[in-house]
């Protein structure tokens, strides 16, 4: 059975769902998902899980994502990116220098309450925000906490601001561009975006969607590399495969990755002195 991780370099144009569909056809399996959407205009790393590896998506939920991009000052759009219609324009950016812009970026480092874009998949009263926005409704998703661990000015060619960022899961770079524009008093939108890293995976290791093959899939164990590890004997493997607990080793708490002969078998959770399988990925 196919199970593994594909690092895909998404081009501009297709949706993340389009890329997933292409990988499904290439691998011959319907069980395919990804670790975070990229908007159609964005490019870069899309981490795709196939087969039983999809069960491990929660293990990557806390991974940060890194980006390089361009914020265009002076124009606010409906979508907070270059695909939307202009809502407001300003020439106030002409009086800004690199120091002022760097200071504005620095204000967003750390934790802050970010309002998702009106055109986003966030649900409002059970319905996606973008569906309401497309009907012409006034949409204002509730702010939610995000963490920006890096936001650095890397180039300036006014009105374009080049930046590098590392953010928590769930952070919208479109919203970040909009908020930087508001802080500078001129408005802004996200003009270009490249995702360069997801957790431990760099864009440099990715392949084009059409180059994904079963043989090129990475070991799902890469998704649990940060968890404590316990080796199982044959009896332990048989127990875990059928959902039965095994004895925990010394000092192991929380989630533990269970291996047998170098193969990831399951992710378990310690309960008292036992490790109870929560996600089983190996075949019987």
CATH number of the domain at 39, please.
Answer: 3.30.2350.10
Q: How confident is the model over 224-246, as pLDDT tens digits?
A: 999 999 999 999 999 999 999 99
Same domain, 137 and 216: no
What's the chain's average pLDDT? Answer: 94
pLDDT at 218: 95
- The arithmetic mean of pLDDT across residues 134-144, rounded, is 89
* Greater pLDDT, 107 or 129: 107
pLDDT exceeds 90 at position 280: yes
For residue 251, name the pLDDT band (cuts at 50, 70, 90).
Answer: low
Same domain, 140 and 192: yes
pLDDT at 92: 96
Q: Six-digit token pair at 71?
A: 């914020």
Same domain, 247 and 155: no
Same domain, 79 and 186: yes
Contacts 24+ apart (CB under 8 A), 86-89: 88/187, 89/187
Same domain, 173 and 83: yes
Q: Sign of dihedral through CA atoms 201, 203, 204, 205?
A: positive
Range of the structural domain that residue 53 is part of: 3-63+201-220
- pTM of the entire predicted model: 0.93
What is the percent of the chain where pLDDT is above 90? 85
Same domain, 116 and 179: yes
pLDDT at 139: 84
Q: How far is 21 from 16, CA to CA, in rounded Å? A: 9
How many residues are listed for the chain in this entry?
Answer: 284
pLDDT exceeds 80 at position 284: no
Same domain, 194 and 205: no
For residue 221, name the pLDDT band (cuts at 50, 70, 90).
Answer: very high
Same domain, 70 and 87: yes
pLDDT exceeds 90 at position 159: yes
Same domain, 120 and 173: yes
Same domain, 130 and 236: no
Q: How confident is the model over 50-65, as pLDDT tens digits?
A: 999 999 999 999 999 9
Burial of 53 (0-12, 13-18, 19+ CB in 10 A): buried
Catalytic residue IDs: 39
Q: How confident is the model over 179-212, as pLDDT tens digits?
A: 999 999 999 999 999 999 999 999 999 999 999 9
CATH number of the domain at 249, please.
Answer: 2.30.130.10
Same domain, 45 and 127: no
pLDDT at 60: 94
Q: How confident is the model over 73-123, as pLDDT tens digits?
A: 999 999 999 999 999 999 999 999 999 999 999 999 999 999 999 888 889
pLDDT exceeds 80 at position 250: no
pLDDT at 252: 64
Read out DSSP for 199-264?
TTEEGGG-B-GGG--GGGPBPGGGGGTTS-EEE--HHHHHHHHTT--EE--TT--SEEEEEETTEE
Q: How far is 275 from 48, CA to CA, in rounded Å? A: 28
Same domain, 22 and 12: yes
For residue 173, name the pLDDT band (cuts at 50, 70, 90).
Answer: very high
CA 153-154-156 angle, 5° bins = 85
Q: How many domains does the chain have?
A: 3
């Amino acid at each position: 059975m196919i199970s593994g991780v594909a690092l895909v370099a998404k081009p501009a144009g297709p949706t993340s769902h389009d890329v997933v569909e292409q990988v499904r056809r290439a691998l011959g399996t319907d069980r395919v998902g990804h670790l975070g959407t990229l908007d159609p205009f964005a490019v870069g790393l899309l981490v795709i899980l196939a087969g039983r590896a999809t069960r491990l998506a929660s293990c990557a939920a806390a991974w940060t994502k890194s980006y390089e991009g361009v914020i265009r000052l002076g124009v606010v759009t409906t979508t907070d990116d270059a695909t939307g219609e202009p809502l407001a324009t300003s020439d106030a950016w002409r009086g800004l220098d690199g120091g002022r812009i760097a200071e504005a970026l620095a204000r967003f480092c750390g934790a802050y309450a970010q309002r998702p874009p009106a055109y986003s998949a966030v649900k409002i009263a059970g319905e996606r925000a973008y569906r309401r926005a497309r009907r012409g409704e006034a949409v204002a998703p509730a702010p939610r906490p995000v963490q920006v661990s890096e936001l650095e000015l890397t180039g300036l060619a006014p009105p374009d601001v080049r930046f590098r960022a590392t953010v928590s899961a769930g952070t919208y770079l479109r919203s970040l561009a909009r908020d930087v524009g508001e802080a500078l008093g001129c408005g802004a939108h996200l003009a270009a975006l490249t995702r360069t890293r997801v957790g431990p995976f760099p864009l440099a290791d990715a392949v084009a969607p059409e180059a994904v093959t079963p043989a090129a899939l990475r070991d799902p164990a890469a998704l649990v590399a940060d968890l404590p590890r316990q080796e199982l004997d044959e009896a332990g493997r048989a127990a875990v495969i059928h959902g039965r607990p095994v004895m925990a080793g010394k000092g192991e708490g929380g989630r533990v990755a269970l291996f047998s002969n170098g193969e990831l078998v399951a992710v378990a959770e310690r309960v008292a002195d036992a490790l109870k399988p929560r996600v089983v990925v190996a075949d019987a």
